[in-house]
Chains A and B, each alone.
Chain A
Amino acid sequence: DQQVKQNSPSLSVQEGRISILNCDYTNSMFDYFLWYKKYPAEGPTFLISISSIKDKNEDGRFTVFLNKSAKHLSLHIVPSQPGDSAVYFCAATTFGSSNTGKLIFGQGTTLQVKP
């Protein structure tokens, strides 16, 4: 049972436009969400996160939106740049004193930004 789903395997956008990557989850216990970016032949790197007490978190060109009632989050990249071309993973966890830090990852979305 896939608890975190990224239903779009790939996305192609033009440089300068907005990229929107989507992620859905099924476990209502998740209260902390992260986005990771991965280039070929490298490990994933942390991009941005959001706690369930917020509905938006912004860091430069990257904004994550959380809709708890829909169990949906999205990553917006504005403006998109060719260097943003990578695989993006959504991940979820339960943040608390007994947390072991285990992350549940989505399948990933490959973003291609065309010059």
Chain B
Amino acid sequence: NAGVTQTPKFRVLKTGQSMTLLCAQDMNHEYMYWYRQDPGMGLRLIHYSVGEGTTAKGEVPDGYNVSRLKKQNFLLGLESAAPSQTSVYFCASSYWLGAGPYEQYFGPGTRLTVT
């Protein structure tokens, strides 16, 4: 099992460019999440999905879009990158256990710099 994988690992964008970050999981998890990590801020939820074909906004969704066309993949898009989106992006997934989702499994992260 590869677990949660993220593509690419690093990327440098110019302001106004667009890109898509890909997250894939092979654990058959229902739930998937996108976070960003900034110094002194911890991890903040951008968007999440509770199943194939569903998406919802998290704490900091502005400037990002997501899609979950297949259960195993969760895509994060930046339509017009801004320097404020320079961050490390983590994808996570989790399964349902009893009364709710259990702990989340994280990917290795994508370091994005917007100049």
Contact = CB atoms under 8 A, between A and B. Distances in A.
Interface of A: 4, 6, 9, 32, 34, 36, 41-46, 49, 89, 93, 95-97, 99-103, 105-108
A4 B100 CA distance: 20
Interface string B23-37: 000000001010100
A96 B103 contact: no
A95 B35 CA distance: 20
The prevalent SS among residues of A at the interface is loop
A9 B40 CA distance: 8
Contact of A105 (B42, B48, B101, B109): B42
B99 A97 contact: yes
B12 interface: no
Interface residues of B, number: 27
Interface of B: 4, 31, 33, 35, 40-45, 48, 50, 56, 58, 90, 92, 94, 99-101, 103-109
Given A9-B40, A101-B33, A46 B101 contact: no
Contacts of A46: 103-105
B24 to A, nearest CB: 14
A108 B105 CA distance: 18
Given A44-B106, A96-B100, A101-B94, A108 B45 contact: no
Contacts of B108: 41-43
A25 B41 CA distance: 15
A99 B31 CA distance: 11
Contact of A100 (B35, B40, B101): B101
A101 B109 contact: no
